[in-house]
Each structure stands twice: as structure tokens, then as C-alpha cells.
Amino acid sequence: MANTFKNYPASNVSSNTVVYTTPASTSATLIGMTIANKTASSVLANIHMNIGGTNFHMIKDATIPTGGALVPIGNDQKVVMEATDTLSVSCSGNCDVILSALEIT
């Protein structure tokens, strides 16, 4: 088994954007995620996971203040994803997202 650390950045996320899809024959542990507000006012952020064809909210309408960031994954919070699971982010204004994962193949 190979273990590989990777970053998955996405810039100017507003509408629902798939930030990460677990590759086939791979499982992943999400070890960090930051969503940074790039606008001049507060934004609302949502994170969805699609697991086996079913959508789940990880975060719903979390407020990120001007110049602020939300760190929903990191420290003690980790998320396990299986092959073909997806993670999507949407914001009510432009945000940058950085997702860090440990992929196991």
C-alpha cells in the first residue's frame, strides 16, 4: 500500500463545486481543510459529501466573517472517504478552499 499526502486547492468557489473525488481503488483520510472568505462582507459556507450516491451535509450555512476562515477539518477532526466519494463546497460569495488528504492505494 502506498500512502501519499496531497493538497487540493480551489479558488473563487461560490456555487456548488466538487473539491475532491476519491480516486478508484483508493481510500483517503482528509486531514485538513480551510475555507477563506475573499469578499468584503460575511459569507455562508456549506460542505456536502456524496457517499454511495447519497448527499450529506458536513457544514450547513456556517458564517465566515470578512477576512476570516473556517477550518472544519484538522486538529482532532478527520474524515474518511472511500473510492468515488465526493466532497463539495459552496459559499454565498467567493472563497478559496484548500483541502489536504492522505490517499491510500
Distances (CA, A) of 48 to 28, 29, 51, 73, 92: 16, 16, 10, 13, 15
Is the pLDDT at 103 greater than 90, yes or no? yes
How far apart are alpha carbons 77 and 54 in whole angstroms? 22
pLDDT tens per residue across span 29-70: 999 999 999 999 999 999 999 999 999 999 999 999 999 999
Bridge partners (DSSP) of residue 43 are: 64
Percent of the chain with pLDDT over 70: 100
What pLDDT is attached to residue 91?
98
User: Residue holding cell 456556517?
Assistant: 62
pLDDT tens per residue across span 6-20: 999 999 999 999 999
What pLDDT is attached to residue 47?
98
pLDDT band at 1 (very low <50, low <70, confident <90, very high): confident
Is the pLDDT at 93 greater than 90, yes or no? yes
Angle subtended at Cα 48 by Cα 24 and Cα 38, rounded to the nearest 5 degrees: 110
Is the pLDDT at 28 greater than 90, yes or no? yes
CA quadruple 17, 34, 91, 82: dihedral, nearest 10: 40
Domain 3-104 top-level CATH class: mainly beta
Residue-range domain boundaries for the chain? 3-104
